[in-house]
Amino acid sequence: MSRISRRNFITFALGSTLAFISSKAQAYDMGIKRYLSRYNNHKLDPGPKDPVREKENPDIINPPVTDSGTLPNLRYSFSDAHVRKGTGGWTRQITQRELSVANTIAGVNMRLNAGGIRELHWHKESEWAYMIYGDARITALDIKGNWIIEDVKAGDLWYFPSGIPHSIQGIGEDGCEFLLAFDNGRFDEESTFLLSDWFKHIPNEILAKNFNVSSSIFNKLPSPTDKYIFSGKINGNLCSNIIDKSTKSLNIFTHKMLEQKPITASGGTVRIVDSTIFTIAKNIAAALVEIEPGGIRELHWHPNNDEWQYYIKGEGRMGVFASAGQARTFNYREGDVGYVPFAMGHYIENTGKTTMKFLELFKSNYYADISLNQWLANTPKELLKQHLNLNKKFTDSLSCKKNPVIK
């Protein structure tokens, strides 16, 4: 073969190879675009399916090409949780039983009608609460024997350390709804210490001695099954409930989260609450994040503990990087719980048309996150360039200031 013909052959072979690669790339791209339409036409999945669920989870049905490997399920919806009803409202929970990866925090969503009472009780776990809707009245007794009676509204928090006895009542015209978070993924509402339950399991003569009354008073105690969440009467305003013979606690058990000045960024806002400003909340730190349409909670991770999320409003998706080439994307909407195991990198994107609002919760006394952008901005440029082979335009775009929500 002559030198010229050999050169022509090599040129032809190279051109053919590039054309082949280009055609493969175009075919792959077209395949992705056709995937959902073919799937919806039952060409990819002719068997039984739930189109409503699949429409809500597009990144599970058609994962981004960057997804790889296997991660545990990081999403569970309160809409799939069992509802326990009472005469005064209802409750449902997501614990490690429902979301097996969630070992640090368990969540309860509770609704109390106007006058509805979550009976006097206590539990081994600390209780952190966010008011979603309406108005409530909480009562408690601190370890020094001093009382707490407070009225709370939407956007307020309360916190009861483990073992502190308390109650919750829906007040106002339509009662309330709230989220409870407990600092143990294995928490179960059925394991709380109920006042009516304990009374039923104490001999009447012991009750009589303890309270210095006749034992006959206790002959007709109510069944604990009737008192877990029951209908009650609202006893006037806050002032009319003051305990005159005792002292109000000096501890602050509530916090007005929405009245905090937020961290404002290009894509939304963040309000952070931990023990540095809500001093009694020693075991749970939190952030309330709002993301505008098209915005993202920037690429980051948390160095203090796992992240438990509650989606209050809107819809979006979260991509999680678990190291060793493993990554998954999950879709979320209001009422969902999300979870990110310790130190896994992730982002959250608002894919809807309205503001997305969610809580980040941590079993920790402080809030902390590491921004990928800020880390790279504080790394020598030449060192960074050797890692990613990216040009000066990229390194110049980095910000030494943390921007938690960007657009």
Assess if residue 58 is contained within a domain: no
- Within the chain, what is the greatest distance between any pair of CA atoms? 118
- 346 annotated to bind ligand: yes
Q: Among residues 214, 233, 255, which one ends one of the domains?
A: 255
Q: How far apart are CA 374 and CA 329, in angstroms?
A: 23
132/248 same-domain check? yes
- 307 annotated to bind ligand: yes
Give the end-to-end CA distance of the chain in Å, rounded to a whole number: 60
130/177 same-domain check? yes
Q: What is the pLDDT of residue 18?
A: 41
R_g of the chain computed on alpha carbons? 28
Q: For the chain, which residues score pLDDT lower than 70?
A: 1-43
Per the listing, tokens 């501890």 go with 251
Q: Where are the alpha helices (DSSP H) in 157-238?
A: 195-200, 204-211
Q: How many domains does the chain have?
A: 3
* CATH number of the domain within which 282 lies: 2.60.120.10
pLDDT tens digits along 26-84: 443 444 445 555 556 666 778 888 989 989 999 999 999 999 999 999 999 999 999 99
Instruction: Identify residue 233 by its one-letter amino acid code.
Output: K
Q: What is the pLDDT of residue 239?
A: 82
List 90's β-bridge partners, or say none.
85, 111
Assess if residue 54 is contained within a domain: no
110/222 same-domain check? yes
42/141 same-domain check? no
- 166 annotated to bind ligand: yes
Q: How far apart are CA 264 and CA 270, in angstroms?
A: 7
Assess if residue 68 is contained within a domain: no
320/225 same-domain check? no
- 123 annotated to bind ligand: yes
Please give the positions annotated as active site: 360
Q: How far apart are CA 250 and CA 254, in angstroms?
A: 12
Assess if residue 153 is contained within a domain: yes
Q: Where are the alpha helices (DSSP H) in 217-330?
A: none
401/327 same-domain check? yes
Assess if residue 56 is contained within a domain: no
272/385 same-domain check? yes
Instruction: Identify residue 137 by its one-letter amino acid code.
Output: R
Task: Measure CA 403 to chain center.
Answer: 21
Phi and psi at residue 387, to the nearest 5°: -85, -45
DSSP conformational letter for 293 = T
- 127 annotated to bind ligand: yes
233/373 same-domain check? no
Q: Among residues 255, 274, 307, which one ends one of the domains?
A: 255
Assess if residue 64 is contained within a domain: no
238/99 same-domain check? yes
284/237 same-domain check? no
Assess if residue 62 is contained within a domain: no
Q: How far apart are CA 204 and CA 219, in angstroms?
A: 8
- 121 annotated to bind ligand: yes
Q: What is the pLDDT of residue 242?
A: 85
Taking all residues of the chain, what is their mean pLDDT, rounded to a whole number? 91
- Indicate the SS3 state at residue 35: helix
- 315 annotated to bind ligand: no
158/289 same-domain check? no
146/251 same-domain check? yes
Q: Among residues 231, 255, 279, which one ends one of the domains?
A: 255
Q: How far apart are CA 197 and CA 81, in angstroms?
A: 25
Residue among 206, 168, 192, 218 nearest 93 (CA): 192
Assess if residue 39 is contained within a domain: yes
Q: What is the pLDDT of residue 35?
A: 57
**Which domain range does residue 35 map to?**
3-49
